Amino acid sequence: MSVVRVGRVLTAPDVPEHLVTVDAHAWPGLLAIPTGPAAGLKARVAEAKFAGACAAAGIELDPGRGAELRVEYDMLFRRIAESGWVGLAEGFMAGEWFATSSEVLVDVLTKLLQSNYRPKTPTISPKHLDGGGEIPAELVQHFAGDGMSGFAGHFATGVPTTQRVRVKSQQSRSAPAYFVDVTEYSEPIDASRDDLGDVQQRSVQMLLDACATSRGTHLLEFPSSGGAVSLAAAGRGAVVDAWAADEHAADALRDRVVYAGVGGAVHVELMGPEWTRATNRRSFYDAVVSVERLETLTPASKAQYLSAVGHLVDPGGRVAVQTAMRTAAFTPAADAALQSLRAYIWPGLSFSTPDELTRIVDRRTPLRIVAQTRAPAHLAASLRLQREMFDSRLREAAADGFDQVYRRLWQWQFALREALARLEMLDVVQVTLVPRDRRGRR
């Protein structure tokens, strides 16, 4: 695993006992710990601030009173003093602190974010933001309802309400306003882990409906999200091109396509570096689908990606995108907490607001947004079910070669994203786009 570092300069001369089994090549940050008198002083300050934040947030630390959070090694506070939320995550990954359960971990992170806990956290250097973030198929199967999908679902019990909203074009001052159908989904009820496959499939069907996928549709999934979209589109009689992000993902998808008996309808290819394949393409698609890729990109890369999509779709075609977006409730503390995910999983992670996405689409692409769905409670529920499924399969993940640090990292990212969704700082959104010029290509 490639790990982006965030300013570590001091390495402990002796590896502490609890870190002896940590793979130094895979997890250099866990073994690079600040030392010396200054680091010790900073750690004591960080410890006092952390204790104060927990007290303010109502997080119990006293074992005699049923502690929600227990600190096993004070090395944790050197990490927090050095890199804030990234250090807090590393301490969890290293086993230096823990919550009594993954559910309690979500509660703890929710309370810390709610109380605006914000230790000084370095920002990931821009030079590290490109690439990375591909989740191994062998890991996804341990938290996916269908064994292959790592994205959020939509629950049948959520009631949709749609209104048409007038949007001022960001293309230019003189450009006319246009209308977007905005659908809000109410909170789901009675969600259980057995529902996860169905709710993920509902997300897929919503995307295919949004781009009018039917028999004969030439559809591109850009990039592949594991196979559910491609298989469902083939089931509708569509001809599918699925562009995989890397060779490993391509091989996994080819196996699923063959196993499902739709090898003649789904063509798997490598996506290639950046978006060069899209800009060099000579044929166009009736439909393009993207599932939870957009949020893993920097704002500049989002514009490049959506522009590429706009040049792939036929003038009469449609684009359907599912992505997580930030809401007005999103705080600087939340962004600081997300540095831990940028450091270890998604280097370019950035959540746009609906207005920011509109600005990117209007100014940087040949597309226009015509419909949008919002379902923050469905994101929180989906992440809860994924977290619970992953917890139930920790032994299987270990058997597949994912070490304890990796498994703790994955528990951390589920808990953090679920906490943000619980606080409605993040929302799962589906966006439908069409070419602005529906008559033909310019």
Average pLDDT over residues 214-243: 96
> Confidence band (pLDDT; 50, 70, 90) for 125?
low
Average pLDDT over residues 23-34: 90
> Confidence band (pLDDT; 50, 70, 90) for 4?
very low
12 has pLDDT over 80:
no
* HSE value, Cβ hemisphere, 13 Å, CA-based, for 122: 16
pLDDT in tens, 253-265: 999 999 999 989 9
> At CA 340, angle to CA 107 and CA 1, rounded to 5?
120
295 has pLDDT over 90:
yes
Question: What's the rounded Cα separation, in Å, for the pair 188 and 18?
Answer: 42
13 has pLDDT over 70:
no
> Confidence band (pLDDT; 50, 70, 90) for 245?
confident
Does residue 39 contact residue 32 with C-beta atoms inside 8 Å?
no
- What is the chain's mean pLDDT, rounded? 91
> Confidence band (pLDDT; 50, 70, 90) for 132?
low
pLDDT in tens, 104-123: 999 999 999 999 999 999 98
Q: What residues pair up with 289 in beta bridges, in sequence order?
A: 221, 320
Give the pLDDT score at 281.
60
Q: In the chain, pLDDT over 90 holds for what percent of residues? A: 80
Question: What's the rounded Cα separation, in Å, for the pair 140 and 400?
Answer: 12
Question: What's the rounded Cα separation, in Å, for the pair 395 and 142?
Answer: 10
Question: What's the rounded Cα separation, in Å, for the pair 355 and 134?
Answer: 27
pTM of the model: 0.93
Radius of gyration of the chain from its Cα atoms, rounded to whole angstroms = 22
